[in-house]
Amino acid sequence: MRANLLVGLLALSPALCGAAELNGGGLSVMWGIPFAGLLLSIALCPLLTPAFWHHHFGKLTAAWSLAFLLPCAYFFGASTAVHGAVHAFVAEFFPFLILITSLFVVAGGICVRGNLHGTPALNTGLLAIGTVLASFMGTTGAAMLLIRPLIRANDNRKHAAHIVVFFIFLVANAGGALTPLGDPPLFLGFLKGVDFFWTVQHLFAPTLFICVALLIIFYLLDSHYYHKREEVKPPELDPTPDSAIRFDGKINFALLVLIVVMVLMSGFWKPGIAYVFFGNTLELQNLIRDVALIVVIFLSLAVTPKSAREGNEFSWGPIQEVGKLFAGIFITIIPVIAMLRAGESGAFASVVRAVTDGNGQPINAMYFWATGILSSFLDNAPTYLVFFNTAGGDAKTLMTTMAATLAAISSGAVFMGANSYIGNAPNMMVKAIAEERGIKMPSFFGYMAWSCAILMPLFILMTFIFFT
Per-residue pLDDT tens digits for 237-282: 556 666 667 788 889 999 988 988 898 888 778 888 888 887 778 8
- Average pLDDT value for residue range 121-135: 92
In this predicted structure, what is the pLDDT of residue 276? 83
In this predicted structure, what is the pLDDT of residue 112? 78
441 Rama class: left (phi>0) / alpha (psi -120 to 50) / beta:
beta
Residue 294: pLDDT band with limits 50, 70, 90: very high
Residue 303: pLDDT band with limits 50, 70, 90: very high
CB-CB contact of 437 with 317 (8 Å): no
State the pTM of this model. Answer: 0.78
Q: Is 160 helix (H, G, I), strand (E, B) or coil?
A: coil
Model confidence pLDDT, tens digit, residues 108-126:
888 877 767 778 898 999 9
**Is the confidence at residue 321, as pLDDT, over 70?**
yes
Q: How high is the mean pLDDT of the chain?
A: 84
Residue 416: pLDDT band with limits 50, 70, 90: very high
The residue extents of the domains of the chain are 37-42+81-466
Alpha carbons 348 and 21: distance in angstroms, whole number = 18
In this predicted structure, what is the pLDDT of residue 387? 85
In this predicted structure, what is the pLDDT of residue 96? 81
**Is the confidence at residue 325, as pLDDT, over 90?**
no
**Is the confidence at residue 27, as pLDDT, over 50?**
yes
**Is the confidence at residue 301, as pLDDT, over 90?**
yes
Model confidence pLDDT, tens digit, residues 29-62:
899 899 889 888 887 787 788 888 888 899 999 9
**Is the confidence at residue 150, as pLDDT, over 80?**
yes
In this predicted structure, what is the pLDDT of residue 12? 47
**Is the confidence at residue 14, as pLDDT, over 80?**
no
Please give the residue that has the higher pLDDT: either 360 or 135: 135
Q: Is 240 helix (H, G, I), strand (E, B) or coil?
A: coil
Model confidence pLDDT, tens digit, residues 151-175:
888 887 777 889 999 999 999 999 9
Strands (DSSP E) contained in 184-305 are 243-248, 274-277, 280-283
Alpha carbons 168 and 455: distance in angstroms, whole number = 12
In this prediction, what percent of the chain has a pLDDT beyond 90?
A: 31
In this predicted structure, what is the pLDDT of residue 410? 94
Q: In this structure, how many other beta carbons lie within 10 angstroms of the beta carbon of residue 359? A: 5
In this predicted structure, what is the pLDDT of residue 159? 79
Among the listed ranges 108-122, 356-370, 432-446, which one has the minimum average pLDDT value? 108-122
Model confidence pLDDT, tens digit, residues 230-246:
666 656 455 666 666 77
In this predicted structure, what is the pLDDT of residue 71? 92
In this predicted structure, what is the pLDDT of residue 125? 93
In this predicted structure, what is the pLDDT of residue 317? 81
**Is the confidence at residue 302, as pLDDT, over 80?**
yes
In this predicted structure, what is the pLDDT of residue 241? 63
Alpha carbons 247 and 266: distance in angstroms, whole number = 30
CB neighbours of 242 closer than 8 A, spacing ≥ 6?
A: 114, 115, 116, 117
CB neighbours of 325 closer than 8 A, spacing ≥ 6?
A: 38, 42, 57, 61, 422, 428
In this predicted structure, what is the pLDDT of residue 124? 94
Largest Cα–Cα separation, the chain = 70
Alpha carbons 204 and 443: distance in angstroms, whole number = 32
**Is the confidence at residue 229, as pLDDT, over 70?**
no
Alpha carbons 333 and 31: distance in angstroms, whole number = 10
**Is the confidence at residue 312, as pLDDT, over 80?**
no
**Is the confidence at residue 5, as pLDDT, over 50?**
no
**Is the confidence at residue 300, as pLDDT, over 90?**
yes
Alpha carbons 192 and 267: distance in angstroms, whole number = 9
- Average pLDDT value for residue range 317-326: 83
**Is the confidence at residue 2, as pLDDT, over 80?**
no
**Is the confidence at residue 1, as pLDDT, over 80?**
no
- Average pLDDT value for residue range 377-398: 80
